[in-house]
Structure 1
Amino acid sequence: MTPSVDSPSGPPRQTRVRQTIEQLRARILGGEWPLGAKIPTEPQLVEALGVGRNTVREAVKALVHAGVLECRQGSGTYVVSTDELAGAVGRRLTDARMSEVVEVRRAFEVEAARLAALRRTPDDLAALDRALAAREAAWRTGRAEAFVEADADLHVAIVAAAHNAMLAELYASVGGALRDTVAHAIGPDLTPERYVDHGRLVAAIRAGDPDRAADEAGAFLEAPTGA
């Protein structure tokens, strides 16, 4: 009989746990278990991964602690993030004061706007125009949820125009948490006093003016209700 992976002749316990975590992570990132999906039960994972129950339990617990998975009593374990950094940052931003969250947004978005003004391409400008038009259209619908998503899409387009892969990856990691802060600032109803024009920001990027773009990006983040 062939020894199981968890047998004394197999690899050390912590090595098995790390390998199992990587296997679970690979299946999540590969789309086998997409965001919001329920992962297989513990016995099913034991059979599929060829490791012992305790190894599976520790690996799942590690990903729960990292914010990638969430155990729901009586229901199962679900994928709540595809990125461990996003999960950790999301938890941290949930507990942070609004002023701290605004400072984090400034750190990303002001520099992204400055770089976008220096590096934007014709394709970037077209994407910004589309995102800005969609944001305006979403505002006119009066639906806060639609507007928050459209606002986030515009900021993602600005970050993409900065052409800094690390900045884009980090921004994606905190994007969900920052979107929640925008929703909080906007509230359930779109009222005129909460509207923030982003046309000047896009115009500054189009003009290739990094200082003005940075100023425009920072200006709407000064106010706690800025989106």
Structure 2
Amino acid sequence: MSLVDIVVNELHAEIKSGRWKVGDRIPPESELVNLLGVSRVSVRAGVQSLVHAGLLATRQGDGTFVVATDVTDVALRRRLEKARQEHVLQVRYALDVAAARLAALNRTERDLRGMTADLEARVEAFATRDVEAFVAADVAFHLKVAVATHNPVLSDLYGSLVGALAEAMRRGSCLETEEAADGEVLHEELFRAIHDREVDKAVDTAFGLVDASIWEAETASEHGRQRQDS
């Protein structure tokens, strides 16, 4: 086994163990040299190998960060990046409805507090028409619903969709459609159903939310085609 392979295995072990989580910045090159007892060249090559694999990402002037924990997750993310918007939303149908049902059954008070914070951020962003803040809060809320199922497989799957869902919202002009205000009501209704453990209502509301998202995406796509034709 080469020194580069050793570096790759050691760094990957830190990620898989959870000691380095998604979003964490890994130690600087000099620290890794001392930690692993290898040369800078070997460390640099090992880090670059994990960057190519999609587990790490280097941000100029800021360092290198963990962006995924598993190569399977990376493959799914890359597939989603190439997927058509409507296909992503159709997958969301299944996950959102399952998540709403299980969250209504299994949520904790801590889960509810997290959802409340995201809903408040979503309302504030909607009021100020801050698209990026709105997208971030919306996606975070739905991810919190998935986490509240306490089914790690479902929440991991939903987490893999986050980037694609955020991009779908941006492309769908999420704050410009007439139905955007209705979405505020539906999100509050979903939260209330989960809070009150009303399983059937949570499922029905989740159906309504995804239906609205698909309609908005189709409307935005049609408007885009009309602008191109005119």
Q: Give the TM-score, by structure 2 length.
A: 0.70
For the residues of structure 1 that align with 2:34 and 2:118, how far apart are their CA atoms? 46
**Partner secondary structure for residue 79 of structure 1:** strand
For the residues of structure 1 that align with 2:93 and 2:21, how far apart are their CA atoms? 35
The unaligned stretches of length 5 or more in structure 1 are: 1-11
Identity of aligned residues (%): 36
For the residues of structure 2 that align with 1:25 and 1:210, how far apart are their CA atoms? 40
2:158 counterpart of 1:171: yes
Partner of residue 226, structure 2: none
Between structures 1 and 2, the one with greater helix share: 2
Structure whose alpha-carbon radius of gyration is higher: 1
Written as runs of structure 1 = structure 2, the 5 A alignment for 1:1-227 is: 12-13=1-2, 18-26=5-13, 30-31=19-20, 40=29, 49-51=36-38, 59-60=46-47, 62-70=49-57, 78-79=64-65, 81-84=67-70, 85-186=72-173, 190-195=175-180, 196=183, 197-222=186-211, 223-225=214-216
For the residues of structure 2 that align with 1:156 and 1:209, how far apart are their CA atoms? 19
For the residues of structure 1 that align with 2:128 and 2:24, how far apart are their CA atoms? 28
The unaligned stretches of length 5 or more in structure 2 are: 218-230
Residues 57, 65 of structure 2: 8 Å contact kept: yes
For the residues of structure 2 that align with 1:37 and 1:176, how far apart are their CA atoms? 22
Residues 21, 66 of structure 2: 8 Å contact kept: no
RMSD between aligned residues? 3.6
Partner of residue 227, structure 2: none
For the residues of structure 1 that align with 2:143 and 2:57, how far apart are their CA atoms? 27
Quick one: which amino acid aligns to residue 115 of structure 2? L
Task: Give deviations 1:177-225, integer Å, cap 9, x for gaps.
Answer: 33232222235xx225251231222222233232331232122223253
Residues 38, 76 of structure 1: 8 Å contact kept: no
Q: Give the TM-score, by structure 1 length.
A: 0.71
